[in-house]
A and B are shown apart, each in its own frame.
Chain A
Amino acid sequence: MSVRTPYTIKGDTGDWELVMGLEVHAQVSSNAKLFSGAATAFGADPNCNVSLVDAAMPGMLPVLNRFCVEQAIRTGLGLKAQINHYSRFDRKNYFYPDLPQGYQISQFAHPIVGEGEIEVDVEPAHGGEAYSFTCRIERLHLEQDAGKSIHDMDPNSTYVDLNRSGVALMEIVSRPDVRTPAEAAAYVKKLRAIVIALGTCDGDMEKGNLRADVNVSVCKPGQYEKYRETGDFSHLGTRCEIKNMNSFRFIQQAIEYEARRQIEIIEAGGKVDQETRLFDPNKGETRSMRSKEDAHDYRYFPDPDLLPLEVEQAWIDEIRATLPELPDEKRARFESEYGLSRYDAGVLTADADKAAFFEAVAKGRDAKLAANWVTQELFGYLNKEGLELSESPVSAEDLGGLIALISDDTISGKIAKDVFGRMISGEGKPADIVEKHGLKQVTDTGAIEKVVDEIIAANPEQAEKVKEKPQTLGWFVGQVMKASGGKANPKAVNEILRAKLGV
């Protein structure tokens, strides 16, 4: 593990550094919405998952969904955060057609979860060694999602789909501890892994179930350290918030663009306006959505339809007792239990499915070998083909079977690659493939000796030479392997050759 080195952007007036804080909106995994009994299933016909409450019919009242609260607490515990025994729901007032109530119920002054932290693992995009840093979490609160406005179905009208209206979201706010575009992406990746492991959000970014707003500012080297010492934000630059990004790639592109834009403004003698911006992936640029002057006055006030939320310690303890193993804990276990490197353990535990797959492969087998095969051969293949693990043509059971064949010397590692290729093309189970194609390794020393004797006899000059130059032994190994059709056990071949040639 290497250490975190400053990330700088060269400007005309010298080096600049980045400071970022993220707000991640994660849809709570729950069958019902935050304040109504309506379903949350994705892909329903427009306006079919809408209750009277979600459509804000007259006289309708919100009733808090206990399960969503439990999910928020579980997430808070996963972020090693303070769970607040008292929290409250506020109304955030603004008019928009996809916001039927005319206000969003959120938690403004008193969130359910307070300060926490997560350990973020970073693989720098521009090379360099992997490292990790601690990102502080400021808060997590529960709020309602809005509906969806559809502007492109009709030239003159906007259609509104309220299926999402009232769906529970967790807004997770970080401190400004993120310093590079890669760190921002890694932070979201880690957060995603945690909520998936907890089962509190499915992490599906394509469906928008997890999306990030990034607050970006730039400053001169040394300023950030001053901020950390004093907590005084005036040491940092003016920030812009880039809204609603749902891909790791976009997050990094948007930050890089935005940082350069701000540096250009400042270096040209201008001032960065605090504003909300949108990233346009087609143009690769951010553009202004609304300035601070246009910002809504949301007129927050406590929602009088809801009582303050009081959470007892006993319930928190109960939830804590049911927490699953989290990515960091899992990685530590992979390191100690399977003897994996921190890097391999990190790769395998970044995703709960990958970790489970690996454990199925490794169970009762050579774990390091299993890790190599899973991360290099299988993930390499899947990456190349653009496939998800769930689409893998090779099951964990079969890959485990292949590793067992290597471990018990039935086949060599080289032959295994051939077998693996055949497994991918659907030829069946590894043992059957080995049987069918006669790939079993020859470990019968008598048979190998016979081949070795023949080759030594046919190449007396080489046999003399190897005694002076032992490194040419490889030539003999190659000849023997070739003669055996690759099936001879390389270890046995080596030993016999050495004995016969006196090397």
Chain B
Amino acid sequence: MTDLTKLTLADALDGLKAKKFSSREITQDFVQAIEASRVLNAYVVETPEKALEMADAADARLAKGEGGKLEGAPIGVKDLYCTKGVRTTACSNILGEFTPTYESTVTQNLWDEGAVMLGKLNMDEFAMGSSNETSRFGPPINPWRRNGDNAGLTPGGSSGGSAAAVSGDLCLAATASDTGGSIRQPAAFTGTVGIKPTYGRASRWGMVAFASSLDQAGPIAKTVEDSAILLDVMCSHDPKDSTSLKVDQPDWRADVSKGVKGMRIGIPKEYRMDGLSKEIDALWNQGIEWLKAAGAEIVDISLPHTKYALPAYYIVAPAEASSNLARYDGMRYGARVDGNNLTQTYEATRANGFGREVQRRLMIGTYVLSSGYYDAYYLRAQKVRTKILNDFVEAFESCDAILTPTCPSPAFAFGEKSGDPVEMYLNDVFTVTTNLAGLPGISVPAGLSADGLPLGLQVIGKVLDESACFRVGGELERAAGFVARPEKWW
């Protein structure tokens, strides 16, 4: 019998519908795989009982010929999403054993369509990080290793648990979230597909907030088609989120196979920056050739304010975070460390509850919003943000989608960059621009590094034009014929 955990989401859904196997069977397989793969540290909460209960309910509906778009499909959930009755901590000590009494809109959408929850996935603390090393539970480990090297590699971050779980066949697909690249970079590091939709496509209600104007939900999946299937269910208009958009959702799954004939693909010259590895540069050129061969027109474009994106991002995101995380004061929920008076209790609670990277960002954020510094930092960063958006608007006058690398390097080893925050932040250099501009971006695995590690290409679309991402992403996937899988060592 085939290993059900290796199926794509699309194939699994077909198999479930055709009753080739039951939801209980595939769920059971995943539960066992998760248990056997704890060394990967992908899950921080496993919910096997809940999973089997949900699987049985799905099977009952499937037996009656009913069922939703994800009926019976086992999914992993990033620990950022509040899940009713299941501990949710955003992998931070400060949330202690916090167990929500409510379900986030995105995950509720999944359960409403019959998905099965396997558990909560590891992440950087409050989604702040690019290597998942800031998690209170320690980092998940990338199933991929360099050729002939047993060193543990990061699956990227902040959605490292989601990426490791999908790549390691520990779920059919996973929810993730992206504030500066937290879906796309881990996808690129693990040979998986990740898409961040247009800001406002998915509700933020019930997602632990990092930076409200940048945070956006999205999936990590095994294929472009799978990512389209999951994204379709995750997105919805939600009156409980004032920034949620009331817009139509096209048939993204159908877009995946439409091809790129006649599309104009923009290549931004500013992304050919110093320090970009030769093999990534080469892969980018390969991507251009594939698209050209498939009938796309290649257009040189300019995004002149790109170099200001990272600094602007590291002002706006910490500023919003410093305010969003003020609610973690030990008063109503989560962990509290008592002091002799109120101020000491606040200080002890937050000093113990937040890790070093979160503390660093809270201090940066507090600083840039302070009176006397606001105009020089926050206000200026917001102006840069507008300029970056305008760059894209202008560029999209001459192209339909933009092709770039996802990351400047393949997955790196633990400890390799964690000593230098600025070097770590450079991981986001190609991805933050879309968050600042609110645009959709997808990362698709397109090749391997000389060391045998997966490399991703990113496709950026216009506002609300996820369809372009799926069309180009689908073409890249077919052209690359990326079938490499991590060799199972765990």
Contacts and interface: CB of A to CB of B under 8 A. Distances in A.
Interface in B373-398: 374, 378
B90 interface: yes
Contact of B95 (A58, A60, A100): A58
A56 B330 CA distance: 12
Looking at B241, B243, B331, the one whose CB has the most chain A CB atoms below 10 A away is B331
B64 interface: no
B212 interface: yes
Contacts of A297: 370-371
A91 B240 contact: no
Contacts of B371: 297, 299
Interface stretch (A17-25, A203-211, A304-312, A480-488): A304-312
A343 interface: no
A93 B100 contact: no
A304 B213 contact: yes
Interface residues of B, number: 43
Contact of B242 (A103, A299, A306): A306
Interface stretch (A61-69, A247-255, A275-283, A398-406): A61-69
B257 interface: no
Given A58-B82, A59-B82, A307-B242, A100 B327 contact: yes
Interface string B79-122: 00110000010100001001011101000000000000000000
Nearest to A56: B327
B302 to A, nearest CB: 29
Contacts, number: 97
A95 interface: yes
B323 interface: yes
A103 B209 CA distance: 14
B26 interface: no
Contacts of A304: 211-213, 243, 320
A57 B100 contact: yes
B80 to A, nearest CB: 8
B457 to A, nearest CB: 30
Given A57-B100, A57-B102, A63 B240 contact: yes
Given A58-B90, A299-B370, A97 B329 contact: yes
Contacts of B98: 58
Contacts of A63: 239-242
Contacts of B174: none
A457 interface: no
Contacts of A300: 369, 374
B194 to A, nearest CB: 21
A356 interface: no
A102 B327 contact: yes
Given A57-B100, A60-B205, A299-B370, A305 B242 contact: yes
Given A58-B90, A306-B242, 10 more contacts: A58-B82, A58-B98, A59-B207, A62-B242, A91-B323, A93-B326, A102-B325, A299-B370, A299-B371, A307-B242
26 contacts: A57-B82, A57-B100, A57-B102, A58-B88, A58-B95, A58-B208, A58-B333, A59-B104, A59-B204, A60-B205, A61-B204, A61-B241, A63-B241, A95-B326, A95-B329, A95-B346, A97-B331, A97-B342, A101-B326, A101-B327, A102-B326, A299-B371, A301-B319, A301-B378, A305-B209, A305-B242
Interface of A: 52, 55-64, 91, 93, 95, 97, 100-103, 158, 160, 297, 299-301, 304-307
